[in-house]
Structure 1
Amino acid sequence: MNFDPENKVVKLCAQGMQAEAEGKIDEANACFKQAWDAATNDFERVTAAHYCARNQPNPLINLQWNLDALKYADAIKEDSLKGHYPSLYLNIGKSYENLGDFASAGTYYQLAADNAIYLPEGGYGNMLKAGIADGLKRTGLKPFSNAVLDGLISAWCERKDLRPLSLVLSAYLQCMGTESDINKLITALSYLSATRCLSAEEQGKVEEIIAELAG
């Protein structure tokens, strides 16, 4: 589905985000509500509902808007919308978490993780992956993890060894266990291995992790 920056609903939501950035929350919410009232198709309803969920002091209303956004997204049934689902599921998970329903929250965080393969490369996708991983942890579920690497990272943090942390930590925290994310982690670990900045013991562990992940 093509994104049209001139679409009336999109423009109203953009105005709302600008007002929100300026601290004008009431004005922002008014723009989002205008966008909802102006929506005439499912794509516009997804967009408006997503923004109407923002700044809602009542967690039940926040949840309902997020569920509405998902409902209208499901009605569209277009592959081009797949990249939106991680965010939709993440928002619903957080809504349930705010209501204390950790079982439902975990379900939606896991759905967000399962759909993370559709996220774009770069800052936006990385930000969502980090949020999904945090949500999984808070609800008692495990994102991708490796016990040996956990131990290495703990040791590097303890001795404030910034070089290995800078090379590996971002790829590890954003890893959802998908093939693409695993490959990124292997690449990061391979760069670290090539620097030969670790002790022989830690170097050996890194090489073992690479072999395990590549296998």
Structure 2
Amino acid sequence: MEFDQNNAVVQLCVKGMTAEGEGKIEEAKQLFQQAWDTATNNFEAFTAAHYLARNQQDINIELKWNLEALRLADTLEQDGMNGHYPSLYLNVAKSYETLGDHGQAAHFYQKAAESSEYLPVGGYTDMIRSGIAAGLKRVGKANPMDIQVEALVNAWCEHKELRPLSMILPAYVGNLGTANDRTKLLSAFSYLSATRCLSVDEQRTVGEIIAALSANS
């Protein structure tokens, strides 16, 4: 769903972000609150709630607004909102994680991962996917295969093994364990394996990763 730059609520939120960028946090919060008070429909309220969650000193209030933004998103036409859900789920997950509720945090990080397929290609998407991946790892949701892949990538980075890195990194960065992500990793590791450019131990590890990815495809 597109944001109308001429919309009064959107304009207030833009002013709030400008104030925030200038370090005027209280002014920004007031502008976001004004946006909320001005909202006349669920999309405007969703927009304002999303920004009201920012810069809250009380994490419970931050969570309240993140959950409200998510609730309002659920009332809107879904196809137009799909691209918003990864960041919405990510924000809710981060709030729960900060509160120490890792169960709820893991739940929403996983929902963020599952909805990430709707994100377009670009820097914003890379940032969101990276945030989701880091969150999943912090709450203990990285699976053993992810740890195995990370160990290989870290070793290649340490020894400046550019050839395997060039083949694997595009599929590895921001990998969230979705079906599409697994397919990309499987293709990358299969191609790497076929080049036979690795040590015996690394070749064996890559074979194990390929088998695990194939079994989960």
Give the TM-score range, shorter chain.
0.7 to 0.9
| CA shift in 2, pair 1:143/1:36, >3 Å | farther
Match of 1:32 in 2: 32
CA RMSD of aligned residues (A): 2.7
Contact 1:144 1:175 in 2 (8 A): no
The DSSP-based 3-state class of the residue aligned with 1:76 is coil
- Counterpart residue identity of residue 95, structure 1: S
- Counterpart residue identity of residue 119, structure 1: L
TM superposition shift of 1:147: 5.2
Match of 2:126 in 1: 126
Contact 1:143 1:176 in 2 (8 A): no
TM superposition shift of 1:141: 1.5
TM-score, normalised by the number of residues in structure 1: 0.84
- Counterpart residue identity of residue 156, structure 1: W
Contact 2:145 2:212 in 1 (8 A): no
Between 1:201-210 and 1:60-69, the stretch displaced more is 201-210
Match of 2:12 in 1: 12
Distance 1:20 1:137 in 2: 30
- Counterpart residue identity of residue 41, structure 2: N
- Counterpart residue identity of residue 72, structure 1: L
Match of 1:179 in 2: 179
- Counterpart residue identity of residue 44, structure 1: E
Contact 1:69 1:88 in 2 (8 A): yes
Match of 1:159 in 2: 159
TM superposition shift of 1:144: 8.6
Distance 1:144 1:133 in 2: 14
Distance 1:27 1:166 in 2: 46
Between 1:34-43 and 1:118-127, the stretch displaced more is 118-127
Structure 1: runs of 5+ lacking an equivalent: none
| CA shift in 2, pair 1:142/1:200, >3 Å | closer
Q: What do residues 3-48 of structure 1 show as CA deviations (whole Å, max 9, x unaligned)?
A: 3122111121112112212222122212211211111111111111
The DSSP-based 3-state class of the residue aligned with 2:120 is coil
Between 1:174-183 and 1:82-91, the stretch displaced more is 174-183
TM superposition shift of 1:88: 0.8
Match of 1:58 in 2: 58
Structure 2: runs of 5+ lacking an equivalent: none
| CA shift in 2, pair 1:149/1:53, >3 Å | same
| CA shift in 2, pair 1:173/1:33, >3 Å | same
| CA shift in 2, pair 1:19/1:158, >3 Å | same
